Each structure stands twice: as C-alpha cells, then as structure tokens.
A = this chain, B = another copy of it.
Amino acid sequence: MESVIHKKRIKQIIDRAEILELIRCMEKAFTAYSSGNAVIPPVGTLTFDSPPGDVHIKYGYIKDDPVYVIKIASGFYKNPSLGISSSNGLNLVFSQNTGQIKAILMDEGYLTDIRTGLAGAVAAKYLAPAKVDAIGIIGSGIQARMQLRFLKHSIDCTKVLVWGRSEESLLAYKKEMSSYGFEIETTLSAAEVARECNLIVTVTPSTTPVLDAGDLRQDVHITAVGADTTGKQELDPDILKQAKLLVVDSAEQCREHGELHKVIQAGELKEKSVIELGEFISSKQRHVRKQGITVADLTGIATQDIQISKFVLERL
C-alpha cells in the first residue's frame, strides 16, 4: 500500500537533514542526467487561459535506482487573490521493478523550491570565483530565500546585497535571512548589485533583462534560476555573448527556454561553447576557473525531482 506524505512531514525531514548531504544528492541529479544514466522524456505541459495557469509534468528515472518519479507542478497566477499560493505540486514515486506506487509526496511545491535552491548551491560550488566578496541576489521571493539558505554551505561569504522591486519585500527578506547569519544590504538598483557582487543569483519571473552586461564586474559568476518557461528572461543577451563559460542543466531544455534559447536561436552563440553542469562537474575543467564572466542557466530537470524524492523517501 502506498503512503501519502504531507508537506509538514516532508519539511521536517528536510529541516533535519545535513545540508551538505542534500547538496551532494543534488550534484548526482546533474551528473546522472549528463552521463546518460537517466531516462528523461520531454516535459509535459498543460496551459489554461482563464484563470491563467500552467502545469508541468517532469518524469523519468535514473537507471540503477529502485524507483521512478513523476512530478506535477502547477502555477495558477490568480491564486494569491484567493489567499492561496500560486504554485503547487506533488511528487509520485513508483517502483521500477513492478510499476506499483510507493509514495505520494504531497509537498505542494516545497520540494521543487528546495531542489531549485540546492541546484544554485551546486552551481556556485563549482563556478563561483575562489574568493566571493559579496553575494548578489536579484529577487526577494521564496526562491531568493532558498538560494541564500543553501549558498551558505557552498560559499564562504556572509556579505549579501539583495535587489527587489519594493522596500517592503526587501525588509522582510533582510529580517528573515539575517537570522541565517548573513549581513544583508538591500537596494532598488540592480546595477548596484552588478557593480558590487562577484556571485549573483537571479530569481525573478522577469520577461525582460534585469541585469545589464555593462554593469558587471570583470570576474563574476551568475546563476540564472528564474527563466523556467518560454518567455521568461533575466539576463541581457550581451552577458551571454561575453561569457567565458556557459553552463546549463540540460542542453536540450535550454534550447527551448531559459536564458540561452533566444541567443542560440538567433545564431549568436555557438552551441559548442555550452556545457551541461553534470558534464562540467565530472570534467577536469572544474579545477581551473578562468577569469571572466561565467553563467549557469538552470531551468530545472526531472533528475532533481527524482533525487530529492528519494532523499525524503529514504528518511521516512
């Protein structure tokens, strides 16, 4: 008989977990994906006009695992007016041996938030400059919190400059995230973040660039997390053109959305200069950081959902 696990219990498991173990678990999501050891069909999508919403079905398996996972995540953008979260989701875990269901993780999107935050920590671990002076966070929502929470465990820097559109949300962010031991400054100017920080994470739902190439420091790593669907974009295309290194979670997926797809489609980027995060982690390249701009474009892949679901399941 399957078990139904609710968000409260899932949250307890994650809260009690060793974060370094979570980060390692997420690293394996990327190496399994890029090594060809995972079977990941294209993402299923369902869209609604009124009220506007979209549903993504990410699914697949890692070959030597006991389970396969189907993750269903939705965004219904009028929900906040009803007093409920716009994002929602659950992870279904099945046996690779019999197809029988083993667990229904009713995480309401929480595990997607967690695995996305952990992905940022993995990217920073391998791609950030050796000495990070200040962490820049572009965005002040839930994912902006997740990113910083986990970055603490890959990056030795407590100085943070956060950008947001309202003073109110910046203050709330500062208050909450200071309790994790960060010294947080806030700003309404993204250019200021670009000038002061050499590790920047962008986590907005923006459809127009929020970071300009001209404002950036010469040696900086940017992890772009926001552009998870077609139409979203956070980075000035010049950033991508000037970057020394472009890392993506999935080369296939980043051809369709994410930061890179428009420049790739416009033929302004040679695809060979793009490397998958899992491939980068497994390669020798990771030992030598070249000076310059590096970008990690993370759109979210099913192996992340598989890994985080297994992590929870093993600790029930």
For residue A70, CB closer than 8 A to chain B, the reply is: yes
Shortest CB-to-CB span from A151 to chain B, Å, is 29
For residue A283, CB closer than 8 A to chain B, the reply is: no
Contacts of A4 in B (CB 8 A): 4, 104
Q: Which stretch in A10-18, A52-60, A155-163, A176-184 binds the other chain?
A: A52-60
Residue of B nearest to A106 (CB): B2
This chain's copy number in the assembly: 2
What would be 9 A-B contacts, judged by CB atoms less than 8 Å apart?
Answer: A2-B106, A39-B47, A46-B60, A53-B99, A76-B98, A84-B100, A88-B98, A88-B99, A101-B106
**Do B59 and A46 touch across chains, with their CB atoms under 8 A apart?**
yes
Given A4-B4, A61-B46, also A75-B98 (CB < 8 A): no
Contacts of A84 in B (CB 8 A): 98, 100
Given A44-B57, A46-B61, also A97-B76 (CB < 8 A): yes
Shortest CB-to-CB span from A291 to chain B, Å, is 43
For residue A92, CB closer than 8 A to chain B, the reply is: yes
Residue of B nearest to A79 (CB): B98
Shortest CB-to-CB span from A1 to chain B, Å, is 9
Q: For the side of the interface on A, what is the size category?
A: 35 or more
For residue A208, CB closer than 8 A to chain B, the reply is: no
Q: Give complex CA distance A316, B315 in Å.
A: 34
Contacts of A288 in B (CB 8 A): none
For residue A68, CB closer than 8 A to chain B, the reply is: yes
Main secondary structure of the interface of A (DSSP, over half): strand
Shortest CB-to-CB span from A100 to chain B, Å, is 6
Q: Give complex CA distance A37, B61 in Å.
A: 34
Residue of B nearest to A54 (CB): B99
Question: Could you tell me which residues of chain A, from 256 to 285, have a CB within 8 Å of some CB in chain B?
Answer: none
Question: Could you tell me which residues of chain A, from 11 to 51, have a CB within 8 Å of some CB in chain B?
Answer: 39, 41, 44-48, 51
Contacts of A96 in B (CB 8 A): 48, 53
For residue A118, CB closer than 8 A to chain B, the reply is: no
**Do B88 and A100 touch across chains, with their CB atoms under 8 A apart?**
yes
For residue A94, CB closer than 8 A to chain B, the reply is: yes
Shortest CB-to-CB span from A235 to chain B, Å, is 29
**Do B74 and A99 touch across chains, with their CB atoms under 8 A apart?**
yes
For residue A90, CB closer than 8 A to chain B, the reply is: yes
Residue of B nearest to A75 (CB): B99
Given A2-B106, A101-B106, also A59-B44 (CB < 8 A): yes
**Do B59 and A57 touch across chains, with their CB atoms under 8 A apart?**
yes
Q: Give complex CA distance A192, B70 in Å.
A: 46
For residue A130, CB closer than 8 A to chain B, the reply is: no
